Structure 1
């Protein structure tokens, strides 16, 4: 099986690397070519164009930053006119569910299969191949791609096209709100004279324990906000959550609050920090 992999960023690089280490043949393309160059030592062929990445590929994986980037790639003539009939596109980007339906329709007209398969687990999950992979699409196509996706983590078919994206938004509601709760908990301990590291230790195994408490909580205490999952990405997801809720005539008040807090961080120039930097917004509120 020949794979074309488009988008070699924070997540795409370790994901493509794991596929190469598992023996898959892979062509890598990234608009900033130096990012794709890093895969050369693991056996990747480097593509200098989208056309070259898709032309001979049986499966094309896209791992892109947002809706605009996905539309520019999947919606381009370079992509559509050069992909093989009966090839499969697996979009692992996190995008608006409405866009995933649009992509599926566009590709189906060209007899190309499509799965929306966003992931959760961050760069650590991408590195150690433990990503949660939420897949929308036809069961037959999912089964054909299962072994491939299994190399990257734990794939689950959750329903028809766009179901993967809806599940990812549900995931991001929980992630965003929990990061906010952990930020408040750490701040409360720090300002009240309680050791926040001991608080995290004491909560281990209880109802409040989570990966976010154990990982992001410690980042907050260390004030280490080097990006693993970017604030701009979390804001994009929170915005998609609110818009998808509106389309279903839903009001999501807690998600809306968290979205506004992430927007404030981005407006303050902290868009490229880790999304655990929501702690900084709590700090700012308490300095007013």
Structure 2
């Protein structure tokens, strides 16, 4: 198939738009500005855009206006409902997107919604790619995110110069596959995070220096990227969010939803670890900790142990 534009992506020619300037989105948008791309943003709260504007970004009044002035528009918002509102509803991106335009959703969203958006985009002569990310705020800031690309393979390849400013993209399949890969990533991640949390709690109860424990095991079989990203923060009780705990509940809930919507027996999976993790992260939210970082899961394990 033909790529969206005959001209390759480049900072001098490609107009990039961005919606969603929270912890992750702002860091990712900053990476594109630093790479030389002209960036236009839409923000529901314009005051939150001041930092990016000071770095050269322009601000518009609606998603449809943003789409009309850009070749490629990224979204990094909170929930699938936010994705739907910004893309499909009145004054959304698809209302203003020019033929050949591309939407890149980096939100952790639902595979079925990604497929719906892709179909709606193609009906307009446009493209949509679901490209959720992993790596947290550190990965976003350092341009070392893992990006899971779902959609048309040629479009994902065409977008590679933009992805390279953010991290490393892996093409994982047709529309919706990027989101399914992210859900699988979250299932894997929470298992590791709970393991790190329980290891730290046990080490402390056993009288070990927990900092020394992390150093001792990080290069062995018990080490993991979860420990690298979150172990030190857990030890220091640094629960500043790279991703909110309540978003982890959202991601794990989608895992359950995807499993239940499977039409074939082969697609149905029993995921006891994910179910337990959802209970523990839901306990964080119930404790009033939904807005702290997901590494705060250790607080639930500590509460269970009387701390």
Q: TM-score range by the shorter chain?
A: over 0.9
Partner of 2:198: 184
Counting only pairs closer than 5 Å after superposition, residues 100-111 of structure 1 correspond to structure 2 as 100-111=114-125
TM-score (norm 1): 0.97
Measured in 1, the distance between the counterparts of 2:155 and 2:55 equals 28
Unaligned runs of 5+ residues in structure 2 are: 1-13, 263-267
Kept in 2, the 8 Å contact 1:231–1:266? The answer is yes
Partner of 2:245: 231
The answer to whether 1:262 aligns with 2:281 is: yes
TM-score (norm 2): 0.91
User: Equivalent of 2:70, from 57, 62, 86?
Assistant: 57
Partner of 2:5: none
Kept in 2, the 8 Å contact 1:136–1:165? The answer is yes
Measured in 1, the distance between the counterparts of 2:177 and 2:95 equals 27
Partner of 1:16: 29
Partner of 1:27: 40
- The verdict on how the C-alpha distance between 1:229 and 1:49 changes in structure 2, with shifts beyond 3 A counting, is same
The answer to whether 1:72 aligns with 2:85 is: yes
Measured in 1, the distance between the counterparts of 2:289 and 2:95 equals 39
1:256 Cα shift?
0.4
Counting only pairs closer than 5 Å after superposition, residues 91-240 of structure 1 correspond to structure 2 as 91-240=105-254
Measured in 1, the distance between the counterparts of 2:32 and 2:58 equals 13
Measured in 1, the distance between the counterparts of 2:195 and 2:253 equals 19
1:214 Cα shift?
2.9
Measured in 1, the distance between the counterparts of 2:228 and 2:19 equals 32
SS of corresponding position for 2:159 = helix
SS of corresponding position for 1:3 = strand
Kept in 2, the 8 Å contact 1:37–1:46? The answer is no
Structure 1 stretches of 4+ moved >4 Å? none
1:30 Cα shift?
1.2
User: Equivalent of 1:252, from 266, 271, 275?
Assistant: 271
Give the alignment's Cα RMSD to 1 decimal.
1.3
Kept in 2, the 8 Å contact 1:245–1:252? The answer is no
SS of corresponding position for 2:207 = coil
Deviations 1:243-280 (A, max 9, x none): 11222322211100000110111011100111011111
Deviations 1:79-107 (A, max 9, x none): 22211011011111110111111111121
Unaligned runs of 5+ residues in structure 1 are: none
Measured in 1, the distance between the counterparts of 2:62 and 2:103 equals 17
1:232 Cα shift?
0.8
Kept in 1, the 8 Å contact 2:24–2:242? The answer is no
